[in-house]
Amino acid sequence: MHYEVVDQDDIEKTTIEEYYSRNLDTVDDPSEKDEFRNLSLLPIDDALGAEHLQIKLWYFEPADEVIYHAHTEQEEFYYILEGEFSLKLGDPDDPEYREAGPGTFYVAGPKTGHGHRYVGDDIGVVLAVGAPPGFDPGKDPTEFASET
C-alpha cells in the first residue's frame, strides 16, 4: 500500500495554464477562456503521487469562474473552504442556480453540466477531486443532453 503525507505549504502554487503546459504535452490549450487559464491551483495529486484521483485546491479572485461544462468520463467532487460561489448545475435546458459558501459539498457525475463563479470579495478556495484521473476536457453540456 502506497501512502504519502505532504504539507500544503510544500506544494508550489501555479496557474492552470502553467500546470497543463508542464504536464500535458498533447494539449495546446486546455481552456478556451483566458480567465480560466489564469486560475491558481495547488496540484495536490501530483505532490502525493495519487494515481486514481485528481486532487486540486483552486484559488479564486472576485468574478473568477469555472465555466459551465461537462466531462465525458470524469465525476467531480467539490468542497468550498472559503468564499461565496454561485453554482450552475444540471440540465443545460433548465439549469439550477444555487448560492453556496464554506462547508458546502457538491458533486457532478459524468455528462452532467456544472460550473461555478466566485461572487465573494476576498479569495475563494475550493477543494476539487475528480476520478478517473487524466485529461477529460470540459465540453458543452448540450452535447450530452440526450444521454442524461
Give the global pTM: 0.86
> Which of 34-48, 79-93, 131-145 is predicted with the least confidence, judged by mean pLDDT?
34-48
- Do the domain assignments include residue 31? no
What was the pLDDT predicted at 106?
97
Mean pLDDT rounded to a whole number for the chain: 88
- Do the domain assignments include residue 120? yes
What was the pLDDT predicted at 23?
61
Split into its structural domains, the chain has a count of 1
- What is the C-alpha to C-alpha distance for residues 1 and 43, in angstroms, rounded to an integer? 22
- What is the C-alpha to C-alpha distance for residues 119 and 116, in angstroms, rounded to an integer? 9
Q: What is the CATH number of the domain that holds 122?
A: 2.60.120.10
Nearest to 136 by CA among 34, 54, 15: 54
35-47 per-position pLDDT tens digit: 456 789 999 999 9
